[in-house]
């Protein structure tokens, strides 16, 4: 997770391996159209998830608000059939939940 400041806000969405291809494609498509959409897909330390999609949004309340907005759209609009959940954390705390491949 290099290139991100510890106080940047992140939206995290845990998901299973069978959803990887579709989630990766949607995120790549979004990033191609929106240069502010920064994300990584990392291996999860949680046994209930195979991967965690981490969306980096920036510091402070504005970053947290954008993290919630982007995660809500992905969970409710892009992937409603996957029944996903999300949470928002500081970038420095994401490393406790993931293993970089």
**Rounded distance between C-alpha atoms, residue 89 and residue 6, angstroms:** 10
Model pLDDT for residues 68-77, shown as the tens digit of each residue: 999 999 999 9
| Domain containing residue 51: CATH number | 3.30.70
Q: Does pLDDT of 4 surpass 90?
A: no
Average pLDDT over residues 17-30: 97
Q: Are 86 and 13 in contact (CB under 8 A)?
A: yes
Calculate the alpha carbon distances from 42 to 12, 15, 65, 101 in Å.
10, 10, 22, 7
Local confidence band at 1 (pLDDT 50, 70, 90 cut-offs): low
Calculate the alpha carbon distances from 86 to 3, 11, 14, 32, 33 in Å.
22, 7, 7, 23, 23
Q: Is residue 12 part of a domain?
A: yes
Range of the domain at 16: 8-92
Average pLDDT over residues 18-36: 97
pLDDT of residue 96: 77
Q: Does pLDDT of 5 surpass 90?
A: no
Structural domains counted in the chain: 1
pLDDT of residue 98: 76
Q: Is residue 28 part of a domain?
A: yes
């Amino acid at each position: 997770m290099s290139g991100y400041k510890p106080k940047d806000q992140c939206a995290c969405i845990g998901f299973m391996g069978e959803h990887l291809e579709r989630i990766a494609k949607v995120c790549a498509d979004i990033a191609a159209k929106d240069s502010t959409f920064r994300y990584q897909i990392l291996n999860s330390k949680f046994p209930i998830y195979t991967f965690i999609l981490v969306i980096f949004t920036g510091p402070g309340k504005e970053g947290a608000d954008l993290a919630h907005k982007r995660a809500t759209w992905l969970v409710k609009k892009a992937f409603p059939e996957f029944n996903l959940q999300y949470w928002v954390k500081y970038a420095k705390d994401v490393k406790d939940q993931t293993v970089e491949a």
